[in-house]
Structure 1
């Protein structure tokens, strides 16, 4: 007999789940308090080392030796190396002294450690005198979303605030592109390519598509190869006087039928095949110029402000809420786009409100891609082009196919919405309100557009010409 505590939706199950969630929440608060205490102590260690110069009127070398000594002492307690402690002391001082409002928000529970690290790492790309201005904008944004979601937006925010143009800084960074190898264990190594973000994303997307194509067609290809192997074997037996020499299709069918590789493994193998041989080993039409795998092309989802397209703005563009890309690359991608649609944003709410697409269903999908950018389950950032458009209120239950009832969900969270007790409703402005089995609610706002439009002041009306006297 099934225990009541194991029955999803039962009272005992929900009570047990509530206890687990409350325990995790309590533990998270205690961990955050301990992390902040440690952060302040590490910052104090850095100030103590710096004080040695003031007391002794010493050179920088004295400060460095004092910092090394303190780091070694603290490292003995933390059981990490002195180099690691010294690096963490530097980060702690920067966060505590350079971003005090961020530490305060973390202490109050408005944000978590991941938010603080994201603000630190993106904000320090700006001159120190701009850090306070940056965190005043960044903290409210962090309060509404998870660290992995907000990081890309903070990066773009920092790029737009920077006194030097993003295009100029990207050009300098691109000069450092390279490929390097890092030896690993057990005969394995990491091959690392440092490339412009859009190129790296495109490579990963094409490898993923090809890997999925190989995995999804295993049975079909094995059966086709098996039939071809039997036929070719019979022909060889007849032409070679019973020697039975076939063309190897049966062996390949066996290889395909026993292929149990994961997506990561297939992706790595296809990557190696493409670089070493120019084609995936299991592409059935690899001898032709455009086989099924070879015909797959990379896809990236980029939000490009109109001002960037016209050259009026050289700020960064948004790669599906993940990170920034340079405007020159965005313009190059845009020049090859076969379909264009203008998107209009409400100047007050910054929410996309309409598109000039003629074909409504197709235009609605593209409209939603621009609005959602990624999966709309809290914390998920799978790009919208890899998601499914879901009816918030099920179509089978009367939900209409309209913008206010549609949102992107990845396969994982679409299935969870269908087969678990998680529920969602859509509010005005594309806001989703998710309710967990315990009744907890999680608000999921539509992503902020990569560029905000400010309506220009209305032009004064032209002067009215004096009325001419009526003729007699």
Structure 2
């Protein structure tokens, strides 16, 4: 079965013809015609169609950004004038238009490969924005170098994977500048309030990643301790109430917060400056790794890794994994192994890939980190899970028969020579 996905965008000549004929252009917007009966398509065919529509949306986004860039050029580079024109024409906010103009200019000047991938439907707006924001502190030369280094791989990564790749790549290309950028960024730490509808508000706290993750871990740990069948509050409600009560002094707890970092022993001892990894965030500098190691009451566990930075195997002869084995699997997987999930590993379940009652071993090779939702999804029969030849985790849908893999990330980044 085939379908037509037709995207109609009026040409310049067509628009002028309509205006000359006295027809308001506002009554002739671009249209997307989907000439197919969805009821006739299977789930797999609808997935194909979804991909086509999403790719077309990315192509239109790139066309919009190129047009925005072109308008600024036509106004002699006057971005403020362009903002005023677009806001009155498109009935939108100047803040939104200003961000679009800055994004369009940055993609064209600093990330040409990402811009091309967006235009080709291989990269969406979200991931292009992640690339732009991650490189915001780099010079144009280094930003282009990062852009070249991550493509074409970036087109096949989820947002979480892309962020991890960007952190490692930036540290590789500009290790000296990272310390300076981090010092500047730390001066921008702040707390602010954003009003919300229905009598609500959002408090925004911007601080170093290790501080934010430590506070979040403490709140999560207390929430899990307080959660019960008789408490009607959801976990999110519990987290909000706990943070409020802690800050207002209405609640005290001796719960200890944890952050998880990994790095080479030689780096921690100051013998080299290889980057480390902050779980739930990504690659960090050697300086930041040592700051966390020596400014907190840190407990370190030694793990042997191979030349690629991946942890080696270990196994046990019992159903429930020991604390050491569970920690090892968490270090290796870093997050839930479902391809689109990035729940941090220490908040996931250890699951046997081959079930224990079918002679599946309790081992690092047969164990995977799965958050509770995707642990249940696997056992529901909707997904089959296996380990690929390269160690990646492969999830296959029993509905569409399609397979998706989640690539392993090294425990510690390995710098190119």
- TM-score range with shorter-chain normalisation? 0.7 to 0.9
- How many residues end up aligned between the 2 structures? 374
Q: In 2, are the aligned partners of 1:303 and 1:319 still within 8 Å (CA)?
A: yes
Alpha-carbon distance between aligned partners in 2 of 1:367 and 1:22, rounded to the nearest angstrom: 38
Once the 2 structures are TM-superposed, how far is the Cα of residue 414 of structure 1 from its aligned partner? 0.7
Q: Is the 8 A contact 1:142 1:150 kept in 2?
A: yes
- The answer to which structure has the higher helix fraction is 1
Change (3 A) 1:354 1:102: same
Structure 1 match to 2:133: 121
Give the deviation of 1:324 after TM superposition. 4.9
Give the TM-score normalised by the residue count of structure 1.
Answer: 0.71
Which residue does the alignment assign to 1:263?
235
In the TM superposition, 1:381-460 aligns within 5 A as 381-436=342-397, 437-452=399-414
Tell me the distance in 2 between the aligned counterparts of 1:337 and 1:34: 50
- Provide the C-alpha distance between the structure 1 equivalents of 2:386 and 2:90, rounded to a whole number of angstroms: 47
Cα distance in 2, alignment partners of residues 277 and 86 from structure 1: 41
| Among 236, 255, 258, the residue aligned to 1:299 | 258
Change (3 A) 1:450 1:114: farther
TM-score of the two chains, using structure 2 as the length reference: 0.79
Within-5 A mapping of 1:226-245: none
Which residue of the partner structure matches residue 461 of structure 1?
Answer: none
CA contact (8 A) 2:58 2:119 kept: yes
Over 3 Å counting, the alpha-carbon distance change for 1:83 and 1:402 in structure 2 is closer
Q: Give, in whole Å, the separation in 2 of the partners of 1:449 and 1:268.
A: 32
Report the more deviating stretch, 102-111 or 378-387: 102-111
Between the aligned partners of 2:272 and 2:87, the Cα distance in structure 1 is 48
Matches within 5 A, 1:32-181: 32-49=58-75, 52=76, 63-64=77-78, 67-162=79-174, 164-181=176-193
- The separation in 2 between residues aligned to 1:323 and 1:453, in whole angstroms, is 15
Distance 1:362 1:214 in 2: 23
CA 1:433/1:446 → structure 2, altered by over 3 Å: closer, same or farther?
Answer: same
Equivalent position of 1:284 in the other structure:
none
| Aligned-partner SS, 2:203 | strand
The answer on whether the counterparts of 2:172 and 2:416 sit within 8 Å (CA) in structure 1 is no
1:26 correspondence with 2:52: yes
Measure, in 1, the Cα distance between the counterparts of 2:304 and 2:198: 52
Q: Structure 1 residues 332 and 162, CA, compared in 2 at 3 Å: closer, same or farther?
A: closer
Aligned residue in 1 for 2:215: 203
> Whole-Å Cα distance in 1 between the matches of residues 65 and 181 of structure 2?
32
* 5+ residue gaps, structure 2: 1-38
Q: 1:381-420: CA deviations, max 9, x gaps?
A: 1111111121112222222223322211111111100003
